[in-house]
Structure 1
Amino acid sequence: MPEPLDQKTINDELRQWHYWWLVVFSLLLIITFVYYLPLRFLHQASQDTEHHADTHVLPVYQETYDIQQGLSVDLSITPDLARTGEEVTLNFFVNQKPGGIPVSINNLDIVHARTMHVLVVRSDMNEFAHIHPMVVSATPGVMSVTHIFSKPGRYKVWTDVTMEGVNYIFGQREFVVEGKGEIEQKQVSFEKSAGVEGYRVVMRTSGQVEAGSDVGVAFNVYDSAGQKIKVENYLEAPMHLAIIKDDWRQLIHAHPVESMMNDLEGMEHMMDENMGDHEHGFLQLIHQVYADEGHADTASSMTALEGDIAFSVMFPEAGLYKLYAQFRPQGIDLSADEAFTATFWLEVTPEISIPPAPVSPSVMPVVSETIPVPPQNTPTPQSGHYHPPGTTPHVDAPVQTTTFTSIGIDSWWVLLIMSLILIVLLSKYVKKYIGEET
């Protein structure tokens, strides 16, 4: 007959089980806090970044003659009649409507080294200028710049300003410049290579150039010997890109961007050098998550243009657009406001909407009680910038379930709170366990 175990032996065995249970539970908490939750946080942060980019970065485009309320920049020309070869002064009055109340120039943000950017184009799209007014008088809210028109014709001016972090683009009324010569010589060519001042600029696009979709547009600059050259910053950017629709209804003022995937590749390289293989695999997993969430097309399009001066452009509507790519070759002897301009034409095709597949009545689910689905709000195209939906909205059959998300609680926070509760309970148990030991 086996001898009964004394209480000390039983306690020793229980302590061993408790010890290994604590080890396993601690490992689970480490995996949760060190691996899963940081991954979830990065993924959520990337989604939030995209949301803010879509809702807060896009400029507000308005024609000044339509503005009844809010910020406006109004153009006046001195003298009233502009003639070729003669200096005129373009005056821009920054004000709040109604009432034309002057806005202090100090309230405007400095963006790309300037308070105000002005773009000037002739009706045939051949004449282009990118100039920058300055405060030259004591008149509140007024900035001015002198300019000489070299060719006659019908012109339009756009004013680009930013106030309190919001970018505004104002289209001014058209005006006529008098003088001798042809008033319009429109020629459209879809060549992807353009020569300017002894340099050759080559443009490439990624994927279908379609309205409502993000399109990668990239440029390389070559010298007369065909060697790729470096460019120096022009107004704090390697290149400035103005894109104007030929009917003057759309204007995009873009600057080079880097894709999320390139940023992650840089992080991965740094962590691979400094932290080892575990973090390297962690970044690879982030790559996979980012691609699985529907960003693979955008990421691959930008990666395909790696090494170029790349832009990500969303064309608001179909039609003909002219691109003005401004750059400064490294070491060039130009004033700070000067740059070379290469021009290109692009034809943007209409957005292709794929309707949802029809559902046979025989496979339609039977739901005893349904939740009414409000109608989808379709964004209204706004001149200058518009982010239409990618496809026709499709609503699945309603399912009556209650989740943490449906009551306003993100699952990430639920996991965090549960983990904190478990840590508190574990600490109390350990404290009690140590007390019994002593």
Structure 2
Amino acid sequence: MKKSIFTGVVALTLVLSGCGAKMDHSNMNHEGNNTAIPQAGEMSHGENHGGGDTTAKDDNLKVTWKLTAEKPQSNQNDDLTIQVQDKDGKPVQDFEIQHEKLMHLIIVSKDLSYFEHIHPEYKGNGLFTITTKFPNGGDYKLYADFVPKGGEKSVKEHVVTVEGAAPHVAALNPDTDKPKAIENKEVTLSFDKLKAGEELTINFNIKNETTKQPISNLQPYLGAVGHVVIISEDTGLYLHVHPMDEKATGPDAKFMTTFPKSGTYKIWGQFQHEGKVFTVPFTVKVP
């Protein structure tokens, strides 16, 4: 199978695979409160299971997004509904389970300082719902990642403008090659090479921060040793990648991907250890 585009996290290692496809901007109706986040012109999305699955946009689908609050406020719970329909406006009834869920919803702030990976509940008739909150004022990008029954993987996007105090937007600076500490873990991100347009291997190496001993008893998170999401600095490119060996338990978690073009990317690696999920963010500049 042909391998394509996707993902990774700290001394620099990343993994993802997918395909390039234009992102669907239709039905982004937030009661007129949308403020566009700059786009890259094309949205790439897909996933790599180590086998190199290629995914494409499904033009026969459309999504309607709605928050209960006409003007969502920061740090307040809000109910979000995501309605999936076919090209004729009829609800899509059935969805494939991908990594234990029918839909993965990724939420990031415009400056990529905030990240959330959640799973809306399916109510039937193409309707997904979830309660969430946005921590600060400003613009957020939402990516709904799902597979209609018998169809292809689809990623639909939406922009929400939240009222309230917005934090200072810091520049997205690439991380150095030193490990990153989180949840008493020391995580090192590394690549066999780092170049746009070429397939590469990303590795997350995870140790105990105090003892420096390798952690080899990672637990499955959503059916795999880890998951990686990569988003470009302008939020125009979205990559969701899964490990080469889903049954791995550490200390290494390897992924494969191809960055579609040069630029700065934020990478979030998610893993589970001793019953707790931890997320490690990295920023890389891809030549």
Structure ranking higher in helix proportion: 1
- Unaligned runs of at least 5 residues, structure 1: 1-49, 260-305, 350-438
Spell out the pairing of 1:35-184 with structure 2 (5 A cutoff): 50-51=1-2, 58=18, 61-65=21-25, 69-97=59-87, 99-104=88-93, 107-136=94-123, 140-163=125-148, 164=150, 166-172=152-158, 174-182=159-167, 184=169
Alignment of 1:268-417 (within 5 A): 308-329=252-273, 331-332=274-275, 334=276, 339-349=277-287
Alpha-carbon distance, 1:248 to partner: 1.0
How far apart are the structure 1 equivalents of 2:116 and 2:4?
29
Structure 2 counterpart of 1:148, one-letter code: K
| Alpha-carbon separation, structure 1, partners of 2:151 and 2:213 | 40
**Structure 1 stretches (4+) deviating beyond 3 angstroms?**
57-62, 66-69
Matches within 5 A, 1:125-274: 125-136=112-123, 140-163=125-148, 164=150, 166-172=152-158, 174-182=159-167, 184-192=169-177, 193-207=179-193, 209-225=194-210, 226-229=212-215, 230-258=217-245
Instruction: Provide the C-alpha distance between the structure 1 equivalents of 2:188 and 2:281, rounded to a whole number of angstroms.
Output: 10
Between the aligned partners of 1:82 and 1:186, the Cα distance in structure 2 is: 26
C-alpha separation in 2, matches of 1:183 and 1:157: 21
How far apart, CA to CA, are the structure 2 residues paired with 1:342 and 1:54? 23
* CA distance in 2 between partners of 1:148 and 1:218 (Å): 32
Separation in structure 2 between the aligned mates of residue 91 and residue 210 of structure 1, nearest angstrom: 39
How many angstroms apart in 2 are the aligned matches of 1:175 and 1:92?
Answer: 13
Q: Do the aligned residues in 2 keep the contact of 1:233 with 1:239 (CA within 8 Å)?
A: yes
Q: CA deviation at 1:178?
A: 1.5
The Cα shift of 1:183 comes to 5.1
TM-score, normalised by the number of residues in structure 2: 0.76
* Alpha-carbon separation, structure 1, partners of 2:108 and 2:144: 12
**TM-superposed deviation, 1:251:** 0.7
Q: Give yes or no for contact 1:59–1:166 (8 Å, CA) kept in 2.
A: no
1:355-410 per-position Cα deviation (integer Å, ceiling 9, x unaligned): xxxxxxxxxxxxxxxxxxxxxxxxxxxxxxxxxxxxxxxxxxxxxxxxxxxxxxxx
| Cα drift, residue 131 of structure 1 | 0.6
Contact 1:60–1:168 (CA under 8 A) maintained in structure 2: no
More strand by share: 2
Q: Secondary structure at 2:25's aligned position in 1?
A: helix
Residues 133 and 144 in structure 1, CA contact (< 8 A), matched pair in contact too: yes
Q: Greater CA radius of gyration, 1 or 2? A: 1
1:72 shift after superposition: 2.4
How far apart, CA to CA, are the structure 1 residues paired with 2:258 and 2:72? 35
| TM-fit CA distance, 1:85 | 1.6
> Shift in Å at residue 171 of structure 1?
2.0
Q: Which amino acid aligns with 1:121?
A: V
Residues 180 and 327 (structure 1), Cα distance of their counterparts in 2 relative to 1, 3 Å cut: same
In structure 2, distance between residues paired with 1:182 and 1:54: 36
Query: 1:128-161: per-residue Cα shift (whole Å, max 9, x none)?
Result: 000100024x6x2110111111122211001111
Supply the distance in 2 between the matched residues of 1:347 and 1:133 (Cα, whole angstroms).
Answer: 32
The 1:348/1:131 distance shift into structure 2, 3 A limit, reads same
